[in-house]
Amino acid sequence: MAKAGTQMPDVLEALCPGAAQKELDSSARNIANTLRATAKTGTPMPEVLEALFVAAAQQIQDFNALELANTLWAMAKTGTQLPDAFGALRMAAAQNAREPRLKGLRTRSGPWP
């Protein structure tokens, strides 16, 4: 719905709690994508967001750079205030940025240094 520009907050409010509950036991990718999509809608659902952000912080070791970025963006976009979850996500993003994960990647000028 976010991509189509459709605003149906009553439908989202009805569907999201159930979907979010399923995502709590899901992969890092699914949690990050759900958070990003939910934030994009602009529909306030603090309980849903809080549960997903806490789940993200608990599975932080499974998140890659894009998933961390999407999750942090969703937190900023929604104005969600969860200092512990934010701290864990921020630290993981900083650690992720320091670790070279692109070994063997070829660029136009040759292999990654």
* pLDDT category of residue 78 using cuts at 50, 70 and 90: very high
Report how many domains make up the chain. Answer: 1
* E strand segments, 4-112: 106-107, 110-111
List, for residues 30-70, the tens digit of each pLDDT value.
999 989 988 998 888 888 889 899 999 999 999 998 999 99
* 97-108 CB burial, b ≥16 within 10 A, e <16: eeeeeeeeeeee
Residue pair 77/49 in contact (Cβ under 8 Å)? The answer is no
On whether residue 4 sits in a domain, the answer given is no
What distance in Å separates the CA atoms of residue 68 and residue 86, rounded to the nearest whole number? 11
On whether residue 55 sits in a domain, the answer given is yes
Burial class (CB in 10 A: 0-12, 13-18, 19+), 51: middle
Give the pLDDT of residue 104: 46
On whether residue 37 sits in a domain, the answer given is yes
Residues spanned by the domain of 62? 9-111
On whether residue 67 sits in a domain, the answer given is yes
Question: Taking residues 11-40, what's their average pLDDT?
Answer: 74
Residue with tokens 């849903």: 48
On whether residue 1 sits in a domain, the answer given is no
On whether residue 13 sits in a domain, the answer given is yes
